[in-house]
Amino acid sequence: MSDFGSFCLLLGLVLAVYALIAALSGAARKQHRIVRSAEHAALAASVVIGIATASMIYLLVTGDFSVAHVANSTNRDLPVFYKIAALWGAHDGSLLLWVFVTALISGVVIFQNRFRYRDMMPYVIAVLMLNLAFFLILNLFISNPFNQLVQINADGSLQRFVPADGRGLNPLLQYWAMVIHPPILYLGFIGFVVPFAFAIAALITRQLGDSWIRTTRRYTLVTWLFLGAGLMLGAKWAYVVLGWGGYWGWDPVENSSLMPWLIGTAFLHSVIIQERKGMLKVWNMILVLLMYLLGVFGTFITRSGVVTSVHAFADSPLGDYFLIYMGLVAAAGLYLIIDRLPYLKSERPLDSVLSRESAFLFNNLILVVSCFAVLWGTMFPVLSEWLRGTKITVGPPFFNNVNIPIGLFLLLLTGVGPLFAWRKTSVESLRKAFFWPGILSVAGCLALIGFGVRNLYVVTCLTLCVFVTVTIVEEFFKATRLRMKGSGENFLIALVNLTLKNKRRYGGYIVHFGVVLIFVGLAGNAFNREVSQTMAIGDQLRIGDYTLKLVDYRESDTPNYISGTTYFEAYKGGKLLKTMKPEKRFYKSGEQQSTTEVSLYSTPKEDLYTVYIGPANDGRSFEVKAHVNPLVFWVWFGSAVLVFGTLVTVLPDRRGAFSTPRASLDRSPAFEKSLKLK
Amino acid sequence: MKKTALALLLVLPLSLAIWAQAPRDISREYKEACDRLICQCGCKEQLSVCSMQNCSSATPMRAEIRERLLKGDGVEAIVDSFVARYGKQVLSAPTLQGFDLTAWIMPFLILCLGTVVVGWIVVRMVRPSRAAAPAPTAVDPRVERELEDFEEES
Question: In chain A, which residues have their Cβ closer than 8 Å to the Cβ of B103?
Answer: 376-377, 380, 394, 398
Largest CA distance in chain A: 91
Cβ neighbourhood burial of A145 (10 Å; 0-12, 13-18, 19+) = buried
- Search chain A and give the residue with CA nearest B55: A613
**pLDDT at position B17 over 60:** no
- ipTM score over 0.85, yes or no: no
- Search chain B and give the residue with CA nearest A391: B89
How crowded is residue B82: how many other Cβ atoms within 10 Å of its Cβ? Answer: 20
B92 in contact with chain A, both atoms CB, cutoff 8 A:
yes
Best residue in B41, B83, B118 for a mutation probing chain A (most A CBs within 10 Å): B118
- Search chain B and give the residue with CA nearest A615: B53
Give the pLDDT confidence score for residue B43 in this predicted structure. 80
B53 in contact with chain A, both atoms CB, cutoff 8 A:
yes
Higher pLDDT, A154 or A554: A554
Name the percent of chain B in helix, strand, coil, to the closest 5. 70, 5, 30
Report d(CA A342, CA A319) in Å as an integer: 36
User: Mean per-residue pLDDT for A317-323?
Assistant: 82
B35 in contact with chain A, both atoms CB, cutoff 8 A:
yes
How would DSSP label each residue in A540-605?
EEEETTEEEEEEEEEEEE-SSEEEEEEEEEEEETTEEEEEE--EEEEE-STT--EEEE-EEEE-SS
CA quadruple A168, A172, A178, A181: dihedral sign: negative
Report d(CA A477, CA B127) in Å as an integer: 36
pLDDT in tens, A351-368: 788 888 888 899 999 999
Interface of B with A in 96-135 (CB under 8 A): 99-100, 103-104, 106-108, 110-111, 114-115, 118, 121-123, 125-129, 132
Sequence length of chain B is 154
Element (H, E) at A630: strand A622-630
**pLDDT at position B56 over 60:** yes
**pLDDT at position B14 over 50:** no
pLDDT in tens, A641-663: 999 999 999 887 654 434 444 43
Report d(CA A88, CA A10) in Å as an integer: 20
The chain-wide mean pLDDT, for chain B, equals 76
Give the pLDDT confidence score for residue A661 in this predicted structure. 42
**pLDDT at position A161 over 90:** no
Question: In chain A, which residues have their Cβ closer than 8 Å to the Cβ of B153?
Answer: 501-502
Find how far residue A220's CA is from the centre of its chain.
12
**pLDDT at position A216 over 70:** yes
Report d(CA B37, CA B47) in Å as an integer: 6
Report d(CA A667, CA A363) in Å as an integer: 32
Phi, psi of A663 (to 5 degrees): -60, -40
User: Mean per-residue pLDDT for A481-492?
Assistant: 88
- Search chain B and give the residue with CA nearest A369: B111
Cite the DSSP H helix spans in A30-143. 32-62, 68-73, 80-85, 91-112, 121-137
Higher pLDDT, B149 or A619: A619
Amino acid code (one letter) for B125 = M
Question: In chain B, which residues have their Cβ closer than 8 Å to the Cβ of A368?
Answer: 114
Report d(CA A175, CA A237) in Å as an integer: 8
pLDDT in tens, A193-211: 999 999 999 999 998 887 8
User: Mean per-residue pLDDT for B68-89?
Assistant: 92
- Search chain B and give the residue with CA nearest A388: B99
Give the pLDDT confidence score for residue B107 in this predicted structure. 95
Question: In chain B, which residues have their Cβ closer than 8 Å to the Cβ of A424?
Answer: 136-139
Give the pLDDT confidence score for residue A489 in this predicted structure. 86
Distance from CA of B131 to the nearest CA of A (A): 11
Give the pLDDT confidence score for residue B149 in this predicted structure. 53
Question: Number of CB pairs < 8 Å for A and B?
Answer: 153
Inter-residue contact A585 to A615 (CB < 8 Å): no
| Domain ranges across chain A | 1-152+159-170, 403-526+634-649, 527-633
Report d(CA A258, CA A264) in Å as an integer: 10
For β-strands A606-615 and A622-630, DSSP reports them as antiparallel
DSSP code of residue A175: S
Confidence of residue A305 (pLDDT cuts 50, 70, 90): low
User: Mean per-residue pLDDT for A545-560?
Assistant: 92
pLDDT in tens, A386-408: 898 888 889 999 999 999 999 99
Give the pLDDT confidence score for residue A90 in this predicted structure. 84
Give the pLDDT confidence score for residue A651 in this predicted structure. 86
Amino acid code (one letter) for A395 = G
C-alpha distance from residue A54 to each of A94, A128, A677 (Å) = 14, 22, 51
Nearest to B50 by CA among B42, A574, B108: B42
pLDDT in tens, A241-286: 888 888 998 988 889 999 999 999 999 999 988 888 888 899 999 9
B125/A429 touch (CB, cutoff 8 Å), yes or no = no
Report d(CA A570, CA A602) in Å as an integer: 12
Report d(CA A98, CA A49) in Å as an integer: 11
Inter-residue contact A568 to A582 (CB < 8 Å): yes
Give the pLDDT confidence score for residue A654 in this predicted structure. 56
Beta strands in B54-100 (DSSP E): none
How crowded is residue A70: how many other Cβ atoms within 10 Å of its Cβ? Answer: 30
**pLDDT at position B136 over 90:** no
- Search chain A and give the residue with CA nearest B146: A479
**pLDDT at position B144 over 80:** no
Inter-residue contact B152 to A502 (CB < 8 Å): yes
B88/A376 touch (CB, cutoff 8 Å), yes or no = no
How crowded is residue B41: how many other Cβ atoms within 10 Å of its Cβ? Answer: 15
Q: What percent of chain A has pLDDT over 70?
A: 94
User: Mean per-residue pLDDT for B54-71?
Assistant: 91
**pLDDT at position A591 over 80:** no
CA quadruple A468, A471, A473, A479: dihedral sign: negative
Report d(CA A248, CA A237) in Å as an integer: 10
Q: What percent of chain B has pLDDT over 90?
A: 36
Give the pLDDT confidence score for residue B148 in this predicted structure. 56
CA angle centred on A403, ends A263 and A467, rounded to 5°:
90
3-state secondary structure of B29: helix
Higher pLDDT, B122 or B12: B122
Enumerate helices (H) and strands (E) in chain B, giving the number of each: 6, 0
Distance from CA of B25 to the nearest CA of A (A): 13
Inter-residue contact B64 to B79 (CB < 8 Å): no
Give the pLDDT confidence score for residue A358 in this predicted structure. 87
Q: For residues A443-454, b (16+ Cβ closer than 10 Å) or e, as one string?
A: ebbeebeeeebe
Cβ neighbourhood burial of B18 (10 Å; 0-12, 13-18, 19+) = exposed
The CA dihedral of A84, A89, A95, A100, to the nearest 10 degrees, is 20
A358/B142 touch (CB, cutoff 8 Å), yes or no = no
Distance from CA of B1 to the nearest CA of A (A): 40
Element (H, E) at A199: helix A193-205
A395/B93 touch (CB, cutoff 8 Å), yes or no = yes
Question: In chain A, which residues have their Cβ closer than 8 Å to the Cβ of B111?
Answer: 365-366, 369, 406
The chain-wide mean pLDDT, for chain A, equals 88
C-alpha distance from residue A373 to each of A253, A294, A303, A312, A382 (Å) = 15, 14, 22, 21, 15
Best residue in B30, B35, B51 for a mutation probing chain A (most A CBs within 10 Å): B51
Give the pLDDT confidence score for residue A580 in this predicted structure. 96
Question: In chain B, which residues have their Cβ closer than 8 Å to the Cβ of A351?
Answer: 126, 129, 136
User: Mean per-residue pLDDT for A298-309?
Assistant: 74
End-to-end alpha-carbon separation of chain B, Å?
91
CA quadruple A661, A666, A671, A673: dihedral sign: positive
- Search chain A and give the residue with CA nearest B88: A392
How would DSSP label each residue in A368-404?
HHHHHHHHHHHHHHHHHHHHH-------HHHHHHHHH
Q: Which positions ≥6 away from A460 have C-beta within 8 Å? A: A408
Give the pLDDT confidence score for residue A316 in this predicted structure. 62
Give the pLDDT confidence score for residue B16 in this predicted structure. 45
Question: In chain A, which residues have their Cβ closer than 8 Å to the Cβ of B89?
Answer: 391-393
Confidence of residue B24 (pLDDT cuts 50, 70, 90): low
CA quadruple B13, B19, B22, B28: dihedral sign: negative
User: Mean per-residue pLDDT for A485-512?
Assistant: 91
Q: For residues A408-439, b (16+ Cβ closer than 10 Å) or e, as one string?
A: bbbbbbbbbbbbbbbbbbeeebbeebbeebee
User: Mean per-residue pLDDT for A585-592?
Assistant: 78
Distance from CA of A494 to the nearest CA of B (A): 14
pTM of the predicted protein model: 0.87
Q: Which positions ≥6 away from A23 have C-beta within 8 Å? A: A35, A38, A39, A42, A121, A122, A123, A125, A126, A129
Cβ neighbourhood burial of A115 (10 Å; 0-12, 13-18, 19+) = exposed
Question: In chain A, which residues have their Cβ closer than 8 Å to the Cβ of B115?
Answer: 362, 365
Distance from CA of A566 to the nearest CA of B (A): 16
Q: Which positions ≥6 away from A405 have C-beta within 8 Å? A: none
Give the pLDDT confidence score for residue A656 in this predicted structure. 41
Best residue in A309, A398, A533, A593 for a mutation probing chain B (most B CBs within 10 Å): A398
